[in-house]
A and B are shown apart, each in its own frame.
Chain A
């Protein structure tokens, strides 16, 4: 039997450290907000001109644009990012680039106006709040029939703390990655990934809690730490296996799949790994520590 509950201090310190690092990264670097939310324009231009990045940058400067970014993309492309523009401005840029580069071809164009971005931001925040409430209500419902002296709200709150821990670490990590890699942007798919992680992370926690409940009913007089230790160990293999199959498909998507949703898949992969860790090493120990603390204060 692995001593997961007995060593819970180690996991708490580890998780605490990760969470602090995540929060620090979030505060120091901030998130790279994509055009979905901020509004703006991304143009992908294909050109075999060897000075394409320099020429494009210069052309845009001459046209009076500022605050734009030009990056090489693929073997013969440039990616231009700038504020929200009208279609007429778009056409003007395209024709200028065609003249200056000699062979500019537009591969893709994406423009999001500021009103759309604002609307999406509100909707995303609303979705996250709704999902959090939905999951809390669901956990409370799933554990409504706990035998005394276990309390369902302690289970629920512990699961939610574990969930918040997963999200904080994932977001922090992506603030860090986003600081160094421009493709790691917070767009609508990033939020989608976070919500999916919430749904899946709770799944593992519920499997462990379900077993804890069953064992407690079977043997109510046993110390809760021992019962939890047994439960976590009994469900360890399945917790890891169920996450493993999901991580396997995600890894194959990450390595072989399309590059345009790489950030989405990466967020899902890391979030699900952290979620599995927390359901074993955070959610269950929390219940034990909390329970014991209350027992002590009762005496």
Chain B
């Protein structure tokens, strides 16, 4: 029995030590930093919400995902580190750009309507110069002018393999594309007029690919060769798919937070959290003496483990999220209070310290469980239903906090108290 307690105790110590190493910015073990993810309200940055007009869409999910990946492509070009781009609900895309101060540049770069067009060679008078899609530094030679053919007429684009001739076993990756009926005629005209010339597939005013026309194509189906490997062909097919149906998107909400504002908030929250922790420690020790001290130790275990978990999962910490964590510190000792009060009653009833400890934990458990469960219900509802950024952050930190605190407040405290109660040190146990 005591041996088990010591094993449990060692486990707790190892777990907490491990958590401390994750918490501190520069761990001596794995050298590199495990960074905490901070929300926009703390590090500053820009949040944009776009609403897609999917009224003319046949496959809303696909179009929204395409829109989202186009946004990602554009954000990547802005050079933002760790952006998040996610679809929300049935028709929205939320873009978070940490550290981006110039919101207006971001809006103009990200928000332009995109459309896939097929272009043919033009002159300086009727055409424009275009850059490469993958390498914006590269400008294609010559000028390009639009044709009547756009992504609207494209119905399918997929990466596949093609055998160049039957005797050759080696196959090369290609992208096969197919047009609808109106596109078929337009594509036939385009290929007829541009025989042995390059045409360009242009997305976002950048050339995705510029194949040469070898023959007039009347079937409305074509193959784009020249991809180095299947990966590149898949990339190309993806770009074409993105441009098939231009989905108009409207900026419906935007938010920009200065970095200094966020930094101050972070410092203030950290101070408030430390003071809160200290006040609780004082309260517990004054109220419950040595038992209170053990509860404070459990609370410290809780704090380090919770913070480590937030880092590992990772949970994006917003201002509200940090408030949720600090609130959970206040709730974490509640289980201890319920247990200690119960122990008091058991001791008054004349039980020995050892028995009072065991029974105190056993009998307080139902009320500890029931009372925490109601908070978990509201956390779940906040996370899944009310869920916007700050609310989710709050619900997640509080919810995770309640779970871990159930472990620390009960297992950690009980193990230590039983170790005391079963030894000569039991006279130190007061509640």
Which chain A residues have a beta carbon within 8 Å of chain B's beta carbons?
86-87, 91, 106-113, 115-116, 119-120, 123-124, 126-127, 130-131, 134-135, 138, 142, 188-189, 191-192, 195-196, 198-200, 202-204, 206-207, 210-211, 234-235, 237-238, 241-242, 244-250, 252-253, 255-258, 260-261, 264-265, 268
**Shortest Cβ distance from A242 into B: residue:** B334
**Shortest Cβ distance from A203 into B: residue:** B371
- Give the distance to chain A from B264, nearest Cβ to Cβ, in Å: 7
- Give the distance to chain A from B400, nearest Cβ to Cβ, in Å: 15
A126 touches B385 (CB 8 A): yes
B371 touches A108 (CB 8 A): no
A206 touches B370 (CB 8 A): yes
B367 touches A206 (CB 8 A): yes
Bound form: Cα–Cα A120–B49 in Å: 13
Bound form: Cα–Cα A124–B382 in Å: 9
**Shortest Cβ distance from A130 into B: residue:** B381
Bound form: Cα–Cα A284–B341 in Å: 20
A268 touches B333 (CB 8 A): no
B78 in the interface, Cβ–Cβ < 8 Å?
Answer: no
Chain B, 1-47, CB within 8 A of any chain A CB = 41
Q: Which of B265, B268, B279, B381 has the most CB of A within 10 A?
A: B381
- Give the distance to chain A from B257, nearest Cβ to Cβ, in Å: 5
Chain B, 382-397, CB within 8 A of any chain A CB = 382, 385-388, 390-391, 394-395
One of A115, A124, A207, A235 near B51 (C-beta < 8 A)? A115
B265 touches A188 (CB 8 A): no
- Number of chain B residues close to chain A: CB under 8 A: 71
- Give the distance to chain B from A248, nearest Cβ to Cβ, in Å: 5
Across the A-B interface, give the 3 residue pairs with the lowest CB-CB distance, nearest first.
A199-B378, A113-B252, A249-B276
**Shortest Cβ distance from A268 into B: residue:** B327
Bound form: Cα–Cα A116–B89 in Å: 11
Asked if A246 meets B327 with Cβ closer than 8 Å, knowing A126-B385, A253-B272, A258-B264, the reply is yes
Chain B, 320-373, CB within 8 A of any chain A CB = 320, 323, 326-327, 329-331, 333-334, 337-338, 341, 345, 366-367, 370-373
Residues 242-265 of chain B: 1 if any A CB is under 8 Å from the residue's CB, otherwise 0? 000000001111111110110011
A210 touches B268 (CB 8 A): no
Residues of chain B within 8 A (CB-CB) of A142 are 370
Which chain B residues have a beta carbon within 8 Å of chain A's beta carbons?
41, 49, 51, 89, 103-104, 107, 111, 250-258, 260-261, 264-265, 268-269, 271-273, 275-277, 279-280, 283-284, 287, 319-320, 323, 326-327, 329-331, 333-334, 337-338, 341, 345, 366-367, 370-379, 381-382, 385-388, 390-391, 394-395, 398
Given A245-B284, A258-B269, 12 more A-B residue pairs with CB atoms under 8 Å apart are A108-B256, A138-B373, A138-B374, A199-B378, A203-B374, A234-B345, A238-B338, A248-B279, A249-B273, A256-B271, A257-B272, A260-B265
A196 touches B385 (CB 8 A): no
Bound form: Cα–Cα A256–B322 in Å: 13
Residues of chain A within 8 A (CB-CB) of B391 are 188-189, 192
Bound form: Cα–Cα A246–B253 in Å: 35
Bound form: Cα–Cα A235–B376 in Å: 22
B275 touches A252 (CB 8 A): yes
One of B337, B372, B390, B398 near A245 (C-beta < 8 A)? B337
